[in-house]
Structure 1
Amino acid sequence: MTCFARAVETGSFSAAARDIGIGQPNVSRYVAALEEHLQTRLLNRSTRKLVLTPEGERYYAEVRRILDAVAESEMSLRENVKPSGLLRVACPTALSHMYVMPLVPAFLQRYPEMELDLQIGDRFVNLLDEGAELAIRIGHLENSALRARRIGSFRRVCVASKEYLAKRGMPRIPGDLTDHDCVIYTLLASGATWRFKDAEVPVSGRIRVNSPEAARALVNAGLGIGQGPAWLFEEGLKSGRLQIILNEFAAPPVPMQIVYAANRLVPKRAIVFMDFIAEEFSKIPQLNTWGARSKRSSP
């Protein structure tokens, strides 16, 4: 059952074998034996991926509950055991580089028996299907199959270089953005629509990117107006190269959360990671901006 569940969650027999610590042929053999025992096919194999059959989907849901119940029973007898094992955490790119990765050495030093697999990227990771136990998410939680722990918040701002504003002029209201070049981050949940306090404005521009760091670089280069976390543009704002615009129209601060599956056991290694990140993020002013406001935009 463990081999089958991890093959589903990691996407391949070889990845499941690495995760469990046995050879890939053994994983394949165990899953085949399980299918023979049940007299039904659970997985369709191809050279590229594993796909659950309808019977496999139903069986996986039951297996996951059984394995979690076993783990919970064992954990109840080992309350004082130190956190250990591999923890997979999906993290947004820019937030990871700026704030999560600098904390990793201290975390691993505090918990020497743990390993971290940071899955860094801005693609949406489905915790129920892809094997990560935790994910750091930006924005409000909408999936009822998940639970969340708040770890901070930040202001989303509109910025532009002074060079760009000198050429194109200063937008006075959010609607003015339709007459400007905007650098569009394509993985934003709202797409090419920017949210403000009382409005949502469709924007356009000559360049689109799927990386927050690339968007920042392009805004710094004067190629358009950008929108994103204030901390993403902090260096340019401090140097005076960038300027916050439309600040009086800014939407409320955006929450950051660590999410986990509601119907699964939360292992001790995941709990201590959430505690650690929440504690460290609480010390960073840029990540705790509920109700905070910067000075209004300069004319």
Structure 2
Amino acid sequence: MDRLLLMTCFVRTVETGSFSAAGRDLGLGQPNVSRYVAALENHLQTRLLSRSTRKLALTPEGERYYTEARRILEAVDESESSLRENIAPSGLLRVACPTALAHTFLVPHLATFLERYPAVTLDLQINDRYVNLVDEGVELAIRIGHLEDSAMRVRRLAIFERVCVASKGYLAKRGIPNTPDDLREHDCLIYTLLSTGTTWRFRGADVPVSGRLRVSSPEAIRECVNAGLGIAQGPEWLYEEGLKNGNLQLLLRDYTAPPAPIQTIYMANRLLPKRAIVFMDFVAEIFANTEVFTPQGDIV
């Protein structure tokens, strides 16, 4: 029995969501993948997947085994790669990235990356929700803000200032806030996926804000603030165009919170394949050559 083949079929089934998709991905066909996963369950004497007519779901035992099996397969892959001289990065790389960062900084450079590494297939998952790297089979994630999970390792890409902005039209009607507490009397545009909820962070103070408009997209927040619908807080680079053309105005500059990091994260207990390492290097190169970010330094 080829134990690594059985593990591979199980891991790819979990990551693709079906025996059929795993079969296509591995070139084995759905019946073989289903048979190999069943053989693995028989060998382990435990059920790894709950099967229904609509979907597959991991059992608690399957969740534990998936984590270990994926780690083992990655270690084997990395060990084999290290024995080959001048091995080129190859294989499927899954990367999660927030929408604003992806569209502004990554997508314009993807052609260069794919041309530089023709044997790598990139699955760039662009969304603003929290992505669990283990459960969703993602090797790297680019995140904004401080890391609190000790199971992760980070590579810092850049730091940025989070600023308050409003259109000059809005300020002409509602007045200019002079302190963070003044925001309580204003319509603030609420980004619903912000980790601090409806609390905005300033130097020395966290201020609860409210407003009539709540949006789950940073780009939509940018459009709304440009349209004069309220005050927004976010990374300065997100509002760069409106600030340059004079439509937007920076607010509360004396109260700006300390810079926050943009980081690539990955599991601390995994050996990264070469495709992940070269992607991290490539992304670091992009941010190092981007002028809108503050030079790296201490972050509070």
> Aligned residue for 2:252?
246
When the two structures are aligned, how many residues end up with a matched partner? Answer: 292
| Aligned residue type for 1:122 | D
> Aligned residue for 2:39?
33
Moved more, 88-97 or 41-50: 41-50
Give the counterpart of 1:105 among 90, 111, 134.
111
Asked if structure 1 preserves the Cα contact closer than 8 Å seen for 2:67 and 2:134, the reply is no
| Aligned residue type for 1:34 | L
Matched, 1:45 2:51: yes
> Aligned residue for 1:173?
179
Aligned residue for 1:127, secondary structure, equals coil
Using the size of structure 1 for normalisation, the TM-score is 0.93
Counting aligned pairs with the same residue, the percent is: 70
**1:21 Cα deviation from its structure 2 partner:** 3.6
Between the aligned partners of 1:110 and 1:267, the Cα distance in structure 2 is: 17
Between the aligned partners of 2:149 and 2:55, the Cα distance in structure 1 is: 26
> Aligned residue for 1:258?
264
> Aligned residue for 2:193?
187
Between the aligned partners of 1:138 and 1:250, the Cα distance in structure 2 is: 17
Matched, 1:158 2:164: yes
Aligned residue for 2:146, secondary structure, equals coil
Between the aligned partners of 2:201 and 2:239, the Cα distance in structure 1 is: 18
Matched, 1:78 2:84: yes
Give the counterpart of 1:280 among 271, 275, 286.
286
Between the aligned partners of 1:127 and 1:23, the Cα distance in structure 2 is: 27
**1:250 Cα deviation from its structure 2 partner:** 0.6
> Aligned residue for 2:28?
22
RMSD: 1.7
Structure 1's unaligned 5+ residue stretches are 293-299
Asked if structure 2 preserves the Cα contact closer than 8 Å seen for 1:6 and 1:131, the reply is no
| Aligned residue type for 1:6 | R
**1:12 Cα deviation from its structure 2 partner:** 3.2
Matched, 1:133 2:142: no
Between the aligned partners of 1:36 and 1:171, the Cα distance in structure 2 is: 67
Asked if structure 1 preserves the Cα contact closer than 8 Å seen for 2:74 and 2:273, the reply is no
Between the aligned partners of 2:105 and 2:77, the Cα distance in structure 1 is: 32
Structure 2's unaligned 5+ residue stretches are 1-6
Between the aligned partners of 1:195 and 1:222, the Cα distance in structure 2 is: 22
**1:79 Cα deviation from its structure 2 partner:** 4.1
Query: Cα deviations across residues 178-202 of structure 1 (Å, max 9, x unaligned)?
Result: 1100111101111111111111111
Query: Cα deviations across residues 135-177 of structure 1 (Å, max 9, x unaligned)?
Result: 1011111111111111111111100000000111100111111
**1:70 Cα deviation from its structure 2 partner:** 1.6
Moved more, 209-218 or 108-117: 108-117
| Aligned residue type for 2:179 | I
